Amino acid sequence: FSAYRWIRDELVRMGVPASEIAFMQDYKKSEAKQRLFGDVRAGKVRFLIGSSETMGTGVNAQLRLKALHHLDVPWLPSQIEQREGRIVRQGNQNDEVDVFAYATEGSLDAQMWQNNERKARFIAAALSGDTSIRRLEDMGESQANQFAMAKAIASGDPRLMLKAGLEADVARLERLRAAHIDDQHAVRRQIRDAERDIEFSTRRVSEIGQDIERRIPTSGDVFTMTVTGETHGERKLAGRALLKEILTLVQLQQEGESVIGSIGGFDLEYSGERFGKDGYRYATALLRTGADYEIELPVTVTPLGAVARLEHALDDFDGERERFSQRLADARKRLASYESRDGGDFAFAGELAEKRRQLAEVEKALAEDSESEGGMAAAA
């Protein structure tokens, strides 16, 4: 029996010209396929029959397509998406299209559609970033469910069908329960992170406030800066003296930390370090409350440029405090949000307990029947 030929013969019997019916597997080469797709787009071929593999990716014949018929049930949601993607796409002149799905009563079809729906919903939840979804069932478990359901249907015992369904439900709920536990662990980690962020940001806001209070204005004519004990009232002269001192220390490859100047009430520290065979590096930083503030002062910078970098760092104290204040507010919001989720009960705990109870009852009844049948066989 060939389902393809039967469908074609029935269509012909109902009045469809045989020339308007095509089998996708009859067109092997790329050129032949393109001619076929052209005939479909032109309306010369009105019925195109094929498998998921032959009519999947690469089929560009959607211009006049009106209806898609799922004659069997694929194993994967992705195969359904591939099929329907041939008709539900841009370039179709029909504003509405029909998609039909068929199932044989008493067969595996209905269960396979249900399994596809379950997989599709699970995948959609995972792709959407749902934090309650952290485990995807593997193919082995999926196949086991299919085989169990096939056995149940073939046996004719509705209890086996119920058992297979309950086992699948319990497995699904167990995964959700494990995901809930993982989510609770993640929430507690986020709470600890937020608490640390609050502690750090609170301290920095206070320390920066102290720096703002001790900061001495340097803008305009009130500028003053000290370099190696000598005070300068002009920015250019101060910059020259500073860069001269830095260049001298670099040439000497001076190691360790030393204060080379001060500006705005804060000391400027130079720290040098040798590394490797001939390597040397240095850094310059304002010594502030609770933390040093590194400022890049390469020997290639201009005198005025060096002073401008230092004054910009002083001026940014207010902006820095505002940034940490915002960081503190954000951390407090995060903490409140995570604390509201901490300790939450598993939403499906009752359902899981009930499914387990039902499964235990079914398994007990089946076991009793099996023992009874075994006893009768032994007596015979």
- Alpha-carbon distance 118 to 175, whole Å? 13
Same domain membership, residue 210 and residue 323: yes
Nearest of 39, 40, 41, 118 to residue 77 by alpha carbon: 118
Task: Give the model's pLDDT for residue 330.
Answer: 97
Same domain membership, residue 175 and residue 47: no
Kindly calculate the radius of gyration of the chain based on its CA atoms and give it in whole angstroms.
38
- Alpha-carbon distance 123 to 119, whole Å? 6
pTM over 0.75: no
Nearest of 59, 49, 56 to residue 21 by alpha carbon: 49
Degrees to nearest 5, angle at CA 281 with 279 and 285 = 170
H/E element, 24:
none
261 SS3 class:
strand
In a domain, 125, yes or no: no
In a domain, 108, yes or no: no
Q: Amino acid identity, residue 140?
A: G
223 — alpha (psi -120 to 50), left (phi > 0) or beta?
Answer: beta
Q: Amino acid identity, residue 28?
A: K
320 SS3 class:
helix
57 SS3 class:
coil
In a domain, 260, yes or no: yes
Degrees to nearest 5, angle at CA 148 with 142 and 154 = 135
Same domain membership, residue 332 and residue 249: no
Provide the residue range defining the domain that includes 347.
134-214+319-380
- Alpha-carbon distance 45 to 357, whole Å? 57
Looking at 276, 293, 315, which one is the last position of a domain?
Answer: 315
Contacts of 62 (CB under 8 A, 6+ apart): 86, 87, 89, 91, 92
Looking at 315, 335, 369, which one is the last position of a domain?
Answer: 315
Q: What is the pLDDT along the chain (380 residues), one digit of tens a residue?
A: 788 889 899 999 999 999 998 998 888 888 888 888 888 888 888 898 888 778 777 777 777 888 888 877 777 777 777 777 777 878 887 888 888 877 666 666 666 666 666 666 666 665 555 555 545 544 445 544 544 554 455 455 678 778 888 888 898 899 999 999 999 999 999 999 999 999 999 999 999 999 999 999 999 999 999 999 999 999 999 999 999 999 999 999 999 999 999 999 999 999 999 998 889 999 999 999 998 899 999 999 999 999 999 999 999 999 999 999 999 999 999 999 999 989 888 889 999 999 999 999 999 998 888 777 666 555 55
Sign of CA dihedral 223, 226, 232, 237: negative
Residue 81: CATH number of its domain: 3.40.50.300
In a domain, 129, yes or no: no
Same domain membership, residue 223 and residue 307: yes
Task: Give the model's pLDDT for residue 140.
Answer: 44
Same domain membership, residue 94 and residue 232: no
- Helix, strand, coil percent values for the chain (each to nearest 5): 60, 15, 30
The total of structural domains in the chain comes to 3
Same domain membership, residue 372 and residue 235: no
